[in-house]
Chain A
Amino acid sequence: MWKQPAPANSSFNDYNTFPLPQTQRGQSSHAHGPVGHTQQPLVTGTSVLGLKFDKGVMIAADNLASYGSLARFRDIQRLHPLGKHTLLGVAGDMSDFQWLKKELDALLREEDALALSDSHPSLSPKNIYELLSNLFYARRSKMNPVWNAVLVGGWDKVKEESFLAYVDLLGTTYTAPTLATGFGAHLAQPLLREAFEAKAGINGDGPLLTQEEAEKVLDDSMKVLFYRDARSINKYQIATITAEGVSISDSKSSDTYWKFAEGLRGYGAQTQ
């Protein structure tokens, strides 16, 4: 009954050398070392921008997937339509994004299959956003986050209004008429807000931007991001979601002006 005190490291069993009967409950799984989860993203996409306008919502993202600081994949689409009236713009880990696409596509495919039998409409943008919020929060709570920041844009057919919301790897969620992830939250969000509030006012109760105005604001913001975000490239797409559905533009580039760079110390021709 009164045993000798056990040697301190027996509670570790560092090398998994104890005979099985002596293994304490719960110890065997730790015997192989701590449980490992994703602790950093690998191939990443940078900012995604979202902006509501008078007939819907637009989402923009560039075509780059970086491997660290290397511009590794330069033709990646980070805008993914889900059904007729929802679109995801995804920043962060691209393999997690690809997994997410596959899961959500399978879910919506099942919804569509069932709809043949009962004619019930598929999941709304709000429903998909709710699912993503739950998923991201559940995964971060398991210390195994889905390493993305996502903008969900859509058209709510019942309320006849646009939908725009944000969710990220921490399970953080919010919604606003202008949204941006990552670097864009610092550099582009002020520009988007300024343009939005110039017409709609601080409360957003005035007229919204027109489609042309909204696209111009996004073009300008993407240019600023290209100038200042070292993980971006000058090649991006804009998705437009309205009552008619989702359309994703071809890739496009901003006109850039680099003359000023001549005068920058360390960049131009000067030696000093």
Chain B
Amino acid sequence: MTSIGTGYDLSVSTYSPDGRLFQVEYAHKAVEAAGVAIGLRCKDGVILGVERLLHSKLLVKGANRRIASLDEHIGLASAGLLADGKHLARRGREEASSFRENYNSPVTVQILSDRISAYLQAYTCYGSVRPFGLSSIVGGVDKTGPKLFCIEPSGVYYGYRAVAVGKGKALAKTELEKIVNKNLESGTEGGLTVREAIDEVARIIYLVHDDNKDKDFELEMTWICEESGNKHALVPEDLLKSAEEKAKAALEEGMEED
């Protein structure tokens, strides 16, 4: 990288001569090492999934979750520095709660994403702080229907039908595009049902995971749909298990084809 050693990349409040903020770009690098996180907007809800990499086999099974709840109906899956993820989730909860306090009504996913992005952006403006080393997926169901957003360390955010962040996001995105395109072609604009999507998200996370190179992982999935009472909740154990089995089977099938 040509930026190294120029001195223009030491502070987030310094532009390089060609107008870049290197510290923000470096923050992106912290995301690339993290296990993949996926969000998929479905016709009847939203599903979030992460590949929770295990840095030790002494970690308690099923604990140390990476997806957080921001409000009853909104979840946050982030990839990057774990501690930053907790910080952002806490802030997200405060925003959601203050919205309810002020307007006596649940915040929409769009408005909450907007507020979170403003918070992230503020950490790219001052030399006294560093940006968040996080890409975050915000998903939920509100009065406008199922919604999905992804916010980058710079504070920029877009709405998505499907999105992936973290290590192996390129491969995950290709797979997600196939699903979305299939839906578009068949005219089912709303996409899959969440039930169908569980298997897809599990399959993609298993596909992206590299058994040879990566540490072991646990699959973590949450959803917001009618079946979960329109609340952000863990995908029930039995559904998760069956999705994992199908994902493993699909993976072996794929290997035979190769």
- Measured CB to CB, the residues of A under 8 A from B are 102, 106, 109-110, 112-114, 116-118
Contact = CB atoms under 8 A, between A and B. Distances in A.
Interface residues of B, number: 18
A116 B65 contact: yes
Interface of B: 63, 65, 67-72, 75, 93, 97, 100-101, 104, 222, 232-234
Given A102-B104, A116-B234, A109 B97 contact: yes
A139 to B, nearest CB: 19
Contacts of A116: 65, 67-69, 75, 222, 232-234
A121 to B, nearest CB: 15
A117 B65 CA distance: 6
Given A106-B101, A110-B93, A113-B69, 13 more contacts: A102-B101, A102-B104, A106-B100, A109-B71, A110-B97, A112-B69, A113-B68, A113-B71, A114-B69, A116-B68, A116-B69, A117-B69, A118-B63
Nearest to A114: B69
A102 B104 CA distance: 9
Nearest to B65: A117
Contacts of B97: 106, 109-110
Contacts of B72: 109, 112-113
A109 B65 CA distance: 19
Contacts of B233: 116
A117 B70 CA distance: 11
23 contacts: A102-B101, A102-B104, A106-B97, A106-B101, A109-B71, A109-B72, A109-B97, A112-B69, A113-B69, A113-B70, A113-B71, A113-B72, A113-B93, A116-B65, A116-B67, A116-B69, A116-B75, A116-B232, A116-B233, A116-B234, A117-B65, A117-B68, A117-B69
Nearest to B68: A117
B50 to A, nearest CB: 13
